[in-house]
Amino acid sequence: MELLKDKAIIVTGASSGLGRSTAIAISKEGGRLILIGRDETRLSETKNMLEYSDNHIAIPFDLLEFEKYDQLFQRIKEENIILNGMVHCAGFTRILPIRALTTQNMNELLAIHYISFVNLVKFYSKKGMNAGGSIVGISAINAHIPQKCMTAYASAKAAMETACRTMSIELIEKNIRINSVVVGSMSTEMSKDVASSIEGVSSSYVNPVSRQLIPTVTADVISGSIMFLLSDLSSYMTGRELYADGGLL
């Protein structure tokens, strides 16, 4: 099956975790990838893991350099690529008690999860850049179920989700759909790092929600939900959230 045959799709955060898994899944379905990530070495590792490796391009780029987005999209244009989709997987989490919140660390989380996403959408949706298509934001269950010490992360994800819903109205005029995947507990190198870093204080910060019906999965399983939203199978969906969280939380 080639669900995304010849579709040109940007994946941010492509050098690891969910971004890497999603890129691999898209390549297996015939898509052409524009991989974006900070780490050049790991980004080319991802590229080498893709089906039809030569079909894709990797652009090392720091998404926090907002003034360079113009150049990034210019580069994509120079490759004669007309975009059909985009997934924003870049991001990180931080466990921050209220006492530890600072303007700086709150801004950092907002910048990567929300401001970079909206900027990406802005450039993606410019005339001549796209053939309509589907944009997917990656949200987190924390935006819906409160979790201790996650104020900054949860709020940044909630801002991104609200942006998806709101932007859907203007974007449909350009035949662009936009949805988010609400990811629950997921096992990646990053989540393992977080879990081991707080070992000894409390397990409740990692997974406070033990009522999930399906046990925690790896990133490649979450990629399935992203693929559905990227593909025409979800052509009647926009401005919505798709929960990939293992059920009742």
Partner 1 sequence: MNEKEKLEIIAESVEMETEELSKEMVLEDLENWDSVAVLTIIAAISDRLGRYPSAQDILAFRTVGDLMNYMD
- Least separation in angstroms between residue 38's CB and partner 1 is 15
Task: Report the residue from 97, 169, 192, 247 that binds partner 1 according to the rule CB under 8 A.
Answer: 97
Told to check if 95 binds partner 1 by CB under 8 A, we report: yes
The one-letter amino acid code at 63 reads L
- Least separation in angstroms between residue 198's CB and partner 1 is 5
Binding mask 128-167 for partner 1 (x = CB under 8 A): ---------------------x------------------
The one-letter amino acid code at 197 reads S
Residue with tokens 């971004």: 19
Nearer to partner 1, 166 or 202 (CB): 202
CB 27, CB 39: distance < 8 Å: no
Task: Report the residue from 96, 111, 145, 190 that binds partner 1 according to the rule CB under 8 A.
Answer: 96
* Residue 110 CB partners (closer than 8 Å, separation 6+): 152, 155, 156, 159
Task: Report the residue from 126, 196, 220, 247 that binds partner 1 according to the rule CB under 8 A.
Answer: 196
Task: Report the residue from 41, 54, 80, 200 that binds partner 1 according to the rule CB under 8 A.
Answer: 200
Nearer to partner 1, 131 or 195 (CB): 195
DSSP conformation class of 143: G
Task: Report the residue from 199, 215, 235, 236 that binds partner 1 according to the rule CB under 8 A.
Answer: 199
Q: SS3 for 152?
A: helix
CB 32, CB 6: distance < 8 Å: yes
Nearer to partner 1, 71 or 204 (CB): 204
Told to check if 100 binds partner 1 by CB under 8 A, we report: yes
Quote the radius of gyration of the chain (alpha carbons, Å): 17
- Least separation in angstroms between residue 152's CB and partner 1 is 10
Residue 240's region, left for phi above 0, alpha for psi from -120 to 50, else beta, is beta
Euclidean distance between CA atoms 230 and 131, whole angstroms: 13
Told to check if 205 binds partner 1 by CB under 8 A, we report: yes
* Residue 199 CB partners (closer than 8 Å, separation 6+): none
- Least separation in angstroms between residue 93's CB and partner 1 is 12
* Residue 169 CB partners (closer than 8 Å, separation 6+): 239
Euclidean distance between CA atoms 77 and 81, whole angstroms: 6
- Least separation in angstroms between residue 159's CB and partner 1 is 21
Told to check if 105 binds partner 1 by CB under 8 A, we report: yes
CB 164, CB 109: distance < 8 Å: no
Binding residues for partner 1 (CB under 8 A)? 94-97, 99-100, 102, 104-105, 149, 196-202, 205
